[in-house]
Amino acid sequence: MSTSVPIAGGASLAVRWPLPWWPGLLASASWALAAFVTHHFPDQVDIIEWAQTEPFAIAQAAIAGAFLVLALIGPLLPPLFRKVQPLGPWFVALGLFFAVWQLITAKLSLLPMPFFVPPQQLVEVYLDDWPRLSQSVLASLWLLARGYALGAAVGFLVGLGLGWSPRFGYWAHPVMRLVGPLPATAWLPLAFFLFPSSASASTFLIALATGFPVAVLTWSGVASVDPDFYDVARTLGAKQRFLVLKVAVPAALPHVFVGLFMGLGSSFAVLVVAEMLGVRSGLGWYLSWAQGWAAYGNMYAALLVMALMCSALITLLFRLRDRLLSWQKGVVKW
């Protein structure tokens, strides 16, 4: 699209204006539709009255306006436009998703209440119950950090011993084959009996869920190191300690990080179960509390926070992997 700009002498200069970003326009329309549905369709107040309907409609309208501005001037801002351009279809889909979610819950009650809630109910939970929810997040992070760090450290040392020392492997391998494949949650009754507190028992269970995949993958990584590496290092005068710390461990790191990724997923599953059964704080406890009081909005809000927390931790682990293993950057995707 071009326009003429008059210049001196009666001549004109053609100025080319970039075309609007069509996915941005569609995203603006979808979010405007969501705002219209939220504001103009009546809530089924005979079932439950949603307190945050009006502010949520205003927020959706503001997002629609932001997408409209982005669609018109985004091509003029290349750094910003390059980042948001691949997300265009997702922006459109999210607006439609919120409109449909609003219709089938608060507006038409197609899904049974109070088991399914509209999105503004989650906003209400975050605004009203954020002290308890944030305290639960911090408690879960602290418990997860203790158990995951302990399990990763012990699993790494056990895997290193299995891959390096045949004598250590003779004793440790049968124990690994017996204990490792069992789900960590199967040890719940014994753990809560043996440990002095539910927090220590939960830490042990998370460490157990983390340690087994880390040990197996570390063992595999150390055992698969090319023997020529050791021969070259010995020729140059390397001692046993150097062979372990400077040859075996760096060569096994890609396998170790795979074990850490697997251990993080397993530790999250155990974390939720342990907090539901024995710990008096944390997201698992919050989920159990919300279900007991039929506060399903609180339950969905906690599930969303838990999903974001898990995704963020895996992303951080991937960033650490890409930093330490720069020659393998992009090999494993997330």
What does the pLDDT average to over 99-114?
Answer: 89
pLDDT of 55 over the 80 cut: yes
Between CA 132 and CA 267, with CA 276 as vertex, the angle to 5 degrees is 100
What does the pLDDT average to over 315-334?
Answer: 78
Segment 236-293, tens digit of pLDDT: 888 888 888 888 888 889 899 999 999 998 998 898 888 887 677 899 899 989 988 8
pLDDT of 16 over the 60 cut: no
The more confidently predicted of residues 252 and 49 is: 252
Could you tell me how many residues make up the chain?
A: 334
The H or E element that residue 43 is part of is none
Residue 295: strand, helix, or coil: coil
Name, in order, each residue with C-beta under 8 angstroms of 184's C-beta and a sequence gap of 6 or more: 205, 206, 208, 209, 266, 270
pLDDT of 139 over the 90 cut: yes
Asked whether 230 and 243 are in contact (CB, 8 A), the reply is yes
For residues 86 and 152, give the distance between their C-alpha atoms in angstroms, rounded to a whole number.
36
Band of pLDDT at residue 306, cut at 50, 70 and 90: very high
Locate 48 and state its tokens.
């439950």
Locate 82 and state its tokens.
């390059």
* 27: nearest Cα among 79, 103, 90, 73: 90
For residues 90 and 25, give the distance between their C-alpha atoms in angstroms, rounded to a whole number.
13
* 116: nearest Cα among 100, 95, 131: 100
The DSSP bridge partners found for residue 4 are 14
Residue 329: Cβ within 10 Å count: 11
Residue 230: Cβ within 10 Å count: 15
pTM recorded for the entire structure:
0.83
188: amino acid identity, one letter: L
End-to-end alpha-carbon separation of the chain, Å?
39
Each residue of 301-323: b (16+ CB within 10 Å) or e?
bbbebbeebbeebbeebbeebbe
The H or E element that residue 79 is part of is helix 78-84
Q: Which of 141-150, 201-210, 232-241, 303-312 has the lowest mean pLDDT?
A: 232-241
* 213: nearest Cα among 152, 270, 145: 152
Q: Which of 3-7, 120-124, 176-180, 246-250 has the lowest mean pLDDT?
A: 3-7
* 23: nearest Cα among 88, 97, 90: 88
For residues 76 and 18, give the distance between their C-alpha atoms in angstroms, rounded to a whole number.
7
pLDDT of 7 over the 60 cut: no
Q: Which domains does the chain have, with CATH numbers?
A: 19-116 (no CATH), 130-328 (1.10.3720.10)
Torsion of CA 138, 312, 269, 146, to 10 degrees: -50
- For residue 294, the Cα-to-chain-centroid distance in whole angstroms is 26
Alpha helices in 130-242 (DSSP H): 130-164, 166-179, 188-194, 198-223, 227-235, 240-242
Tell me what pLDDT residue 329 has.
67
